[in-house]
Amino acid sequence: MKLTRRFAFLLIVLLVSVGVSAFAGLYSLRQQHHALEVVMKEGTGRLLLVTDIRRLFRAMTVREDEQILETNDRDALAIHESADAIRAELVTTMATYASIMPDDDRDAAAALRRAFERWVELDDRVVALARAHESGDAYLLSKSHATDPVSWEKLAAQLVAANETRLSAQVAAAGDTYRVGRTVLLTSSLFAMLFAWTVGSAVFHGIRRTVSDLFILNTDLEGVVSTRTRDLEVARAESVAASRAKSDFLANMSHEIRTPMTAVLGYADLLLDPTLTNRDRLEHVETIRRNGTHLLQIINDILDLSKIEAGKMNVELLPCSPSKVLAEVASLMRLRAKQKGLDFEVTFSGAVPASVHSDAVRLRQIVVNLVGNAIKFTERGSVRVFVRCSGAEGPFAMLVVQVVDTGIGLSPEQISRLFQPFSQADSSTSRRFGGSGLGLTICKRLAGLLGGEMTVQSAIGRGSVFTLAVPTGDLTGVAMQHDASEGLLATEVKTAHTPTALTGVRVLLAEDGPDNQRLIARYLVRSGADVTVVENGRLAADAARAGAFDVVLMDMQMPELDGYGATSLLRHEGYTRPIIALTAHSMAGDRERCIRAGCDDFLTKPISRDALLDGVAHWARVPRGHLASEAPAA
C-alpha cells in the first residue's frame, strides 16, 4: 500500500512537470506567432499604403503632363478634374498612412505631406496663371520654378525604401523571437525529459529495490512458514505420540491398578468364609498384603513422576553407606530371585568407599527398581550386581553400580523408548510381564537429580546391563571396603522387625476416618499405649489442653478445624508436646507446610505400623521444650 501511494505521487509530479513545461513552451510560441502576424499585417499595410501613395504620385504626374500638353480647354478641364480626384485620394491615403506610421517615421511622412501640399498650392497657382495667360509654356516655366529641387517622387521612393527596411527588421526580430522561443521550448522539454528520466530512474530503482526486498522477505517468509509447518508437523506428531503413550499408560494403569485391587477385594471376601483353616486364612492375608503393596508402589511411582515433572522432587545429599543400601536391596530381592530359580549375587569390583555423600532413599529406590526389573525380565540364568568406585584418587569420584542379567534383552529401537514416560519396550511386554512403564523413567530422572547418569547396553536374547553412576563427594579420610560377601551383607539387615513397646505412653489420635481410627488405635494399643481418639481439630485442641499426652497424632485433613489450624492454635497458646502429622499428601512441600504449622514430624498414609510405632516411641522420649530439628531421619 505504501509503495503504491509513493509511486502514484511520483508519477503525478512527473506528469505535472512535463505538462507545465509543454504548456509554457506552447504559450510562448503562440505569443511569438501572434506578434509575427501583427508585424506582418502592419508592415504589409504600411507598404501597401506607401505603394499606393507612390502610384498616386505617378498618376498625378501623368495627369499634369497631360494637362500641360492638352490645348483643348474641355479636355484639359477633364484631365484637371481627374488630377483633382487623384490628388484627393492621395491626400486621404497619406492621412491614413500617417495615422499608422511608427513614431520614428512620422517626421518623414509629415515632410512628404508638407512637400505635397506645397506642390499642390504651387500647382494651383501655375494652373491659374496658365489659364489666365492661356500659355502652356508659362505653366511649365512656373512649375519648374515652383517644384522643390528634391521632388516628391524621390521622397516617396525613400519612404517606400524605409518601410521595406523596417518591415525586414521587424520580420528579422520576429524570427529571432521565434528562434528564442523554440530554444526555450527545446530547453524546457530537455529539462523536463531530464527530470522525468531522473525521477523515473529513481522510481524504477526504488521499485526494483522494493521488489528485491519483497522477494527476499517473501523467501524468508516462505522459509519461516516452512520451518513453522515442519515444527507444527513435528509437534503434532509428538502430541499424537504423547497422547497415544498416555492412552496406553492409562490402559496399563487401569490394568495395573485393577489387577491387585481384584486380588485385594476377592481375598478379602474369602476371609469372610468361617470354614477357612488358619493356614488358608494366613495365605489370603499374605495375598492381600502383597497386592496392596504392589498397588501402593504404582501410586508412589505416579506421584514420584509427577513431582519430577513439576520440578518439585528434592534430594538430600547426606553421608550414607553404599554397603548398607546394597545389603537392604539384597535382602529384599534375594527371595524373589530364589522363587524364579535365578542366581543372585552382589560383588565389589575393587575398593568401594564405606561412606558417600548422596541420598540413601533415592539411591536405594533406583537400585531396587533396576534389580526388580532384571529379575522380572529374566526367565533363567542369573542377576548380578557389581559395585566399584571410579576415579577414587581424583576430585570427581563416582560410585558405579552395574546390574547384569541374562534376560530377554532389548533392541536398539526399544532402548530409544526405554526412558520415556508411560512406555515399556512394547505393549506386549506390558501384557506379558506387567508394570506401569514408569520405573526406569523415574530412575533416569533421579540419577540426574543425584548428579549422575544411567545408561543401558543390551541385545535381544543376550540380556542387559544397566549402569548407574553417581558422585561420591569428597572421599578424604573415608575408609575403603574390598570385600562384600553375601553373608556380611545379610547380617547388616534385620530379617524381622521387633515391635516397639509403648507401655505407659499416652497418645492423642485426631483422625476423622473411622477405619483409620480403629487401625491406628489398634496398632498403638497392641504396643501398650493409652490412646484417646477424637474426630476433628477443634476437639483435638480441647483434648490437648485438658490432658497430659506424651504424643499427639494429628490428621491434617479434618472437618470443622483441620490439622494445620489446630496445630497452629496449640503452638500459639504455648503447647510444647510433640505433634506428628498424619496425611495422605506426599508431594514436595507438604512436609515443609506441616513443619511450618508447628508439627514435629511427618508420616504419610498408608501408614507403616513399624514407622508409626518407631516415631511415637522416639517423640515420647523427647523432653518437654523440644526442638523440631530433633526429628529422626527418614
Of the three residues 431, 462, 491, the one that is the final residue of a domain is 491
Q: In what order do the strands lie in the sheet containing 551-555?
A: 530-534, 506-510, 551-555, 579-583, 601-604
Find, among 55, 28, 45, the residue nearest to 167 by Cα.
45
**Shared-domain flag, residues 154 and 40:** yes
Instruction: Examine residue 267 and state whether it is found in any structural domain, yes or no.
Output: no
d(CA 621, CA 65): 178
**Shared-domain flag, residues 533 and 487:** no
pLDDT of residue 402: 93
**Shared-domain flag, residues 406 and 513:** no
pLDDT of residue 490: 43
Contact 601, 633 (CB under 8 A): no
**Shared-domain flag, residues 28 and 168:** yes
**Shared-domain flag, residues 535 and 410:** no
Instruction: Examine residue 232 and state whether it is found in any structural domain, yes or no.
Output: no
d(CA 387, CA 384): 10
**Shared-domain flag, residues 487 and 539:** no
pLDDT of residue 628: 45
Contact 619, 553 (CB under 8 A): no
**Shared-domain flag, residues 47 and 78:** yes
Instruction: Examine residue 606 and state whether it is found in any structural domain, yes or no.
Output: yes
> Residue 460: exposed, middle, or buried by beta-carbon count in 10 A (0-12, 13-18, 19+)?
exposed
Kindly report the CATH number assigned to the domain that includes residue 553: 3.40.50.2300
Instruction: Examine residue 121 and state whether it is found in any structural domain, yes or no.
Output: yes
**Shared-domain flag, residues 23 and 105:** yes
Tally of domains within the chain: 3
Instruction: Examine residue 518 and state whether it is found in any structural domain, yes or no.
Output: yes
**Shared-domain flag, residues 473 and 594:** no
Please tell me the pTM assigned to this model: 0.52
**Shared-domain flag, residues 6 and 129:** yes
Low-confidence ranges of the chain (pLDDT < 50): 70-72, 126, 129-130, 132-150, 425-433, 486-496, 626-634
d(CA 579, CA 563): 10
pLDDT of residue 22: 63
Kindly report the CATH number assigned to the domain that includes residue 334: 3.30.565.10
Instruction: Examine residue 412 and state whether it is found in any structural domain, yes or no.
Output: yes
Q: What 3-state DSSP class applies to 459? A: strand
Of the three residues 193, 221, 239, the one that is the final residue of a domain is 193
Torsions phi, psi of 438, nearest 5? -105, -20
**Shared-domain flag, residues 604 and 487:** no
pLDDT of residue 146: 41
**Shared-domain flag, residues 398 and 484:** yes
Its domain, for residue 560, covers 506-630
Instruction: Examine residue 224 and state whether it is found in any structural domain, yes or no.
Output: no
Instruction: Examine residue 458 and state whether it is found in any structural domain, yes or no.
Output: yes
